[in-house]
Amino acid sequence: MLQKKSTLMFIFGTTAMLSGPSLAETGCVAVAPQQPLPASSSARTISKINFIRHDIFDLSHPQTVWFHRFANEYHVITTEPTIRDDVLFREGEPLDLAVLAETERLLRSRRYLRQAEVQVTEYCESNQSVVVTVSTWDNWSLLPKISLGHEGGETKSNIGFAEDNLLGTGNQLQAEYFNDSERDGYQLRFLSPNIGGSHWQTAVQYADNSDGESYQFQLNKPFYRISSDWAFNFELSKEIKDISEYELGDEYNEYRSNRDYAEVSGGWKISHYDNQVQHLNVGVTLDDHHFLANDDSTRPQPADRDLSQIWLGWDWFQSDYQKMFNFFQFNKVEDINFGWQASIRLGKLNQGLGAYTTGWNLQATLAKNWQLTPSSWLTYRSEYHQLEGKALASQQLFSNQLRHIYHLTDHQVWISQFQWNVGKNLFRDQRITIGGDDGMRAFPLYYQTGNKSAIASTEYRYITSWHLYQLVDVALAAFVDAGRAWDNPDRTTPIDNDTLYGYGVGVRLLPSHASRGSIISIDLSKPVTDNPELSGWRWRLIAKRDF
């Protein structure tokens, strides 16, 4: 008996030594989520970072079936080094809760992660240190792309696959064959969002389309955090495609576009105070655009243009993020910035770089979100472009988008949006179109085209409690659209310039455990028009990131 007792004591003692001291023995206490740390006059340091990686599906969920277990079994979970590469703090550094929140937002921006939490989980008073735990939940990242859709009077299809988390490294690989109203062909794409933890990114894309070959190569290091000191971007691309011109959704002309584009730029932090940062950017852009007639051309093609330029830019960013739900999407955490965001860029056309004329190019953006009441918000974004050159007609475009989001209840959301564009002498291939993808959901693609447009839309969305086998969240919707595009100097026949109206009902599907995160909208809509070709109800299927 004594021998058995001695053996048990030896086992328990050895286990205790191997497992290390308990929280009580080290003077550390557990910290619950959202619990404030005890007051202290001295700075705290991060003594340890723990990583908890969750698989795609919770197998304890009552709706668990065989394919949930199959997905978890054959999915390569995001590796700890991949997650660690995105962590913006290190062991031994002072604790900064703002940096923890910034890391959480960066992790949530990775499409291969469904959710991320970065929290202080232990506090050690004896040495004023903390333990931080980084918890992540994976998305299903290998997505077959097999679809047949009909939207705005046109049929679209594609087949292929996209892997958004190749072997758990966060790299993306995509291959697909596609066919839509403009072209068909295949496309290959590779993207690495964080090369070796350096926060350098690279993207390589190649497409062989029915209207020509296209490619793109990009290597850049963005301002990936508010305290980043510098940024760099290099991009090289060639795009060959056929561009169609429409009236009332019917194609009447086509021509070929051949664009060669290259840009190299750098940016530097010039001031950083509290949650505000300013950057100075400088770059060189080569932009050569040629147009050719093809077999389906019925009108002369646009004039060639070269807008190569040297430019100087400035941007101002305020960081005031809040975690929101049912804002642009539904049933998922959305990081919404309520700070000001502004940028301006002034370029000088340079004939030494290939530009056809001298002149200047101005681009400016302004964005802000406001909380109006505890249950309503307003978002605003504005862009202004102006192009002036000796051999060019003065060109301007002022674009605005105003959106109001109102939570009637936790399950009911009313979203209203007004967008307007005022242009002057826009290039033919850059004119504003409405219909289908571009607002006016009850009308065909490219139904109206012009230098100016205005669209008002409202959508009521009821977010149901239906979660179909942990795969799809469901919302029901009803919407009304009104809009108009006008001032098209190249129209060939008198066309309907009246304001368009349409309404409909639909279903919104959110693949809750898939890396793409797009809302699938299935709509049944009816245009209000005297055009007999558009009588009756029309159906529409499209995947978009938000409303």
DSSP calls for 122-151: EEETTTTEEEEEEEEEEPB-EEEEEEEEEE
The predicted-structure confidence for 342-381, as pLDDT tens digits, reads as follows: 999 999 999 999 999 999 999 999 999 999 999 999 999 9
Q: What's the confidence (pLDDT) of residue 472?
A: 93
Distance from chain centroid for Cα 302: 32
What CA–CA distance (Å, rounded) separates 533 from 102? Answer: 52
Q: What's the confidence (pLDDT) of residue 182?
A: 63
Structure tokens at 90: 């290190």
Structure tokens at 247: 């009236």
- The mean per-residue pLDDT over the stretch 30-50 comes to 85
Residue 392 confidence (pLDDT) above 90: no
The predicted-structure confidence for 401-432, as pLDDT tens digits, reads as follows: 999 999 999 999 999 999 999 999 999 999 99
* Rg of the chain on CA atoms, in Å: 27
Q: What is the DSSP letter of 67?
A: H
Q: Hey, what CATH topology would domain 31-138 get? A: Ubiquitin-like (UB roll) (3.10.20)
Tell me the pLDDT band of 7, cut-offs 50, 70 and 90: very low
Tell me how crowded residue 20 is: count the other CB atoms within 10 A of its CB.
8
In the chain, the amino acid numbered 468 is L
Torsion from C-alpha of 132, 138, 141, 147, nearest 10 degrees: -130
What CA–CA distance (Å, rounded) separates 68 from 57? Answer: 6
Q: Of all residues in the chain, what percent carry a pLDDT higher than 70?
A: 90
Query: Which residues have CB under 8 Å from 479's CB, separation 6+?
Result: 441, 457, 458, 459, 460, 503, 504, 505, 506, 523, 525
Q: Where are the domains of the chain?
A: 31-138, 142-544
Beta bridge pairs of residue 216: 205, 237
**φ/ψ of residue 183, rounded to 5:** -165, 170
Higher-confidence residue: 295 or 48?
Answer: 48
Q: What's the confidence (pLDDT) of residue 39?
A: 76
Residue 15 confidence (pLDDT) above 70: no
Q: Strand 341-349 vs strand 359-373: parallel, antiparallel, or unpaired?
A: antiparallel
In the chain, the amino acid numbered 125 is E
What CA–CA distance (Å, rounded) separates 433 from 412? Answer: 31
The reply to whether domains 31-138 and 142-544 share a CATH topology is no
Q: What's the confidence (pLDDT) of residue 18?
A: 40
What CA–CA distance (Å, rounded) separates 60 from 57? Answer: 9
Q: Which CATH class for the 142-544 domain?
A: mainly beta
Q: What is the DSSP letter of 106?
A: H
